[in-house]
Homo-oligomer: A and B are copies of this chain.
Amino acid sequence: MLDQVNLNKKASKEQAKSELKRLEEELSLIQQEIKKEKLPVVILFDGWGAAGKGSMIADLILNFDPRGCRVISNAPATDEERRRPLLWRYWRNIPEYGQIMVLDRSWYQDISTARVEDGLSRETVLQRIGDIKIFERQLTDDGYLVLKFFLHISKKEQKKRFDKLEGDKNTEWRVTETDRRRNRNYEDYYRAFDEMLEYTDTPNAPWHLIPSHDRTLAKLEVYHTVLTSIRKALAQKAVPQPAPGKVMIPQTFTLVKMPELADVPLDNALGKDEYNRKLKKLQARLSELHNVLYREKIPVIIGYEGWDAAGKGGNIKRVAAALDPRGYDVHPIASPTPSELAHQYLWRFWTRLPKDGHVAIFDRTWYGRVMVERLEGFCTPQAWHRAYQEINEFERVLTEWGAIVLKFWLHIDQDEQLRRFTDRQNTPSKQWKITDEDWRNREKWPLYEEAVNDMLRYTSTDFAPWHIIQSQDKKYGRIQALELIISAIESRL
């Protein structure tokens, strides 16, 4: 793609000045609309060293009110970041609805410079490209505008700029040996950049290649593209999208066949002595394994879902009791905060991912999207239909990163739930555990059952299958969960 960029184009001085002024004015006005329409905007800049990313960004953001605009410079990853999936640090920083985020370098550095310099295998590069495309699609499907600029200059121009920087004692420190080496090997980077641009130039997030020899011209093109793209995105927001007719079945992954909830047996039970004996033995084993996970830097993610009063809390407690608190976190997932609501729905789970070697237990999970959010209308039908595929993609990233991902549905029947609700209601120290909402949800049991069956059907992948925990007898369910966790870890080691 780079060979189609005309680097010799120049802006006419006279015209440029007034044109620039006009664009600047429009940019500063359009931010109010972005805010009003809650359009999230991601503007990323990649390109050659010394192509002018820094000053381009500096100028661009002066048109925006800092209350709605943030710049993120993606320097080399920190300790924290290296212990998470590659895209974690970018997910973490996605803007809120109505905000503009400008990125100085982005996820693309992981498949361009990193590719040349770390000698990544072709397979790794392709996998990263795949992950990036999914990431961008999930954002744009959620209504984000993703604007990608590549600032292009020739080898000769780059050398000239490095020379100039080095000639000035105030800026000489900015040119490093790495810069010089990159200029000498310009051709290698060119090939890497070109392929990256080709492979990631998607309709939902196309690249804009900016000839950057003439700085004024570059600025005009960037400003113009930003403006027209924002206008287009704002216009599109006004167009209602038709709701899908039936559930959009995720296509990309191999699904494991799951039973219907109605067919799951619930009559298994354990006596107190057997339970205590098994519990003690399994907890000791899990405790040992936790040490190994820590040393081998294997992350474990356990998601708990289930009927109200199915016994999630007590089950989690028995698992947690076997773990070293320095190496695990329990994340209770309640209704989203205003800030969480102002991001793509997976954001609040991305930001809670464990470090490698750590265990994260989620008490309710990202599956809220296809259960409560589906049933209560907290998201559009398109959104929850799309979610099956998005969630599978999310879990795929986690397992490819190396995580063990376990998902439990804690199952009881309606009679058992009623018994437990009534018991809570009648026991003063348990009353806080039961709310009107629980009773309301109970009335929707058949609707929930349908949603759960869909969820089990469409998101039980071979890399992250669902497990139905028979929690009618709580003791049996706890032992079952512990056994499943232990066996998943053992089969990995």
On whether the beta carbons of B323 and A58 are closer than 8 Å, the reply is: yes
Give the distance in Å from the alpha carbon of A287 to the alpha carbon of B73 in the complex.
18
Q: From known contacts A66-B316, A79-B79, A363-B66, infer whether A58 and B334 are also in contact, taking CB-CB under 8 Å.
A: no
Residues of A within 8 A of B (CB-CB), count: 45
Q: What sequence of 0s and 1s flags, for each residue 161-185 of chain A, a beta carbon within 8 Å of any chain B beta carbon?
A: 0000000001101100000000000
On whether the beta carbons of A325 and B71 are closer than 8 Å, the reply is: yes
Expressed in whole angstroms, the minimum distance between the Cβ of A280 and any Cβ of chain B is 15
How many protomers of this protein does the assembly include? 2
Give the distance in Å from the alpha carbon of A328 to the alpha carbon of B208 in the complex.
26
Give the distance in Å from the alpha carbon of A80 to the alpha carbon of B89 in the complex.
13
On whether the beta carbons of A291 and B339 are closer than 8 Å, the reply is: no
A170 in complex: contacting residue of B67, B79, B174, B291, CB < 8 Å: B291
What secondary structure prevails in chain A residues at the interface with B? helix
On whether the beta carbons of A71 and B338 are closer than 8 Å, the reply is: no
Q: From known contacts A54-B326, A71-B326, A288-B170, infer whether A62 and B321 are also in contact, taking CB-CB under 8 Å.
A: yes
The residues of B that contact A432 with a CB separation of less than 8 Å are 32
On whether the beta carbons of A334 and B71 are closer than 8 Å, the reply is: no
Give the distance in Å from the alpha carbon of A62 to the alpha carbon of B429 in the complex.
17
Q: What sequence of 0s and 1s flags, for each residue 314-326 of chain A, a beta carbon within 8 Å of any chain B beta carbon?
A: 0011001101111
A80 in complex: contacting residue of B80, B102, B326, CB < 8 Å: B80
The residues of B that contact A325 with a CB separation of less than 8 Å are 54, 57-58, 61, 71, 73, 102, 104
**A18 is an interface residue with CB less than 8 A from chain B:** no
The residues of B that contact A313 with a CB separation of less than 8 Å are 65
7 A/B residue pairs, CB under 8 Å, sorted by A: A29-B429, A54-B324, A54-B325, A58-B323, A61-B325, A73-B325, A104-B325
Binding site for B on A (CB under 8 A): 29, 32, 54, 57-58, 61-62, 65-67, 70-71, 73, 78-80, 102, 104, 170-171, 173-174, 288, 291, 295, 313, 316-317, 320-321, 323-326, 329-332, 334, 337-339, 363, 429, 432
Given A54-B326, A57-B325, A66-B332, 18 additional A-B pairs, CB 8 A:
A29-B429, A54-B325, A58-B321, A62-B321, A65-B332, A66-B320, A66-B331, A67-B332, A73-B325, A73-B326, A80-B80, A102-B325, A104-B325, A170-B291, A171-B291, A173-B295, A337-B338, A337-B339
